[in-house]
A and B are shown apart, each in its own frame.
Chain A
Amino acid sequence: DIQLTQSPSFLSASVGDRVTITCRASQGISSYLAWFQQKPGKAPKLLIYAASTLQSGVPSRFSGSGSGTEFTLTISSLQPEDFATYYCQHLNSYPLTFGGGTKVEI
């Protein structure tokens, strides 16, 4: 099974900060990686798929990059509504797996 390791697991930041979250895969997954945002008590929301493609309706301050085994999610200027937990998920092969999550707090 492919393991995804996210870092950091916790991140303290301020409004306006540039934030970068990393997701490392235990083996190559091409660009079959998605990023989700989850707020407390809510369902996850797809932000980015195919490693770098912004889902419709997602603000352009979110961006993704990487391929193979190392991927990043960047928020260029953190907004109050961005404080949430972020997960990566690979869709390269079964079983699909998620990273452990990164909680972004003030």
Chain B
Amino acid sequence: EVQLVESGGGSVQPGGSLRLSCAASGVTFSDHYMDWVRQAPGKGLEWVGRIRNKANSYTTEYAASVKGRFTISRDDSKNSLYLQMNSLKTEDTAVYYCARGIAVAGTVWVDPWGQGTLVTVSS
């Protein structure tokens, strides 16, 4: 069974930094694209970004709202995904989920998701 466990969330002041981690088990992690998705309290889902696998040169894509401030990386030897968040703003407050990508039918779908980790940006 695939399991994804996020960690590293917490409270931080505006302008600060935080690094989230996502540990994967039950899956050949290195084969898969991985996504980060967030959900502000009481709001809908917002895609944050994606990192491709080694076969696709670990390239990344980001939402405009985080581009230049957030960086997605991975360590396949540790089955781990990371989200480095810099210059945090109050509007970055959200539960952050990692999700595995599955390449089927011409694109990459995401399933399953981790349980999420809460990031609160407040002074």
A residues lining the B interface (CB < 8 Å): 1, 31-32, 34, 36, 38, 42-46, 49-50, 53, 55, 87, 89, 91-92, 94-101
Contact = CB atoms under 8 A, between A and B. Distances in A.
Contacts of B116: 43
A95 B63 contact: yes
Given A43-B97, A43-B114, A43-B116, A98 B109 contact: no
B109 A49 contact: yes
Contacts of B46: 98
Interface in B24-76: 35, 37, 44-47, 50, 61-64
B47 A96 contact: yes
Contact of B47 (A43, A50, A89, A100): A89
25 contacts: A1-B64, A34-B110, A43-B97, A43-B112, A44-B45, A45-B111, A46-B109, A49-B105, A49-B109, A50-B104, A50-B105, A50-B106, A55-B111, A87-B45, A91-B108, A91-B109, A92-B107, A95-B61, A95-B63, A95-B64, A96-B35, A96-B47, A97-B47, A98-B45, A100-B44
A87 B97 contact: no
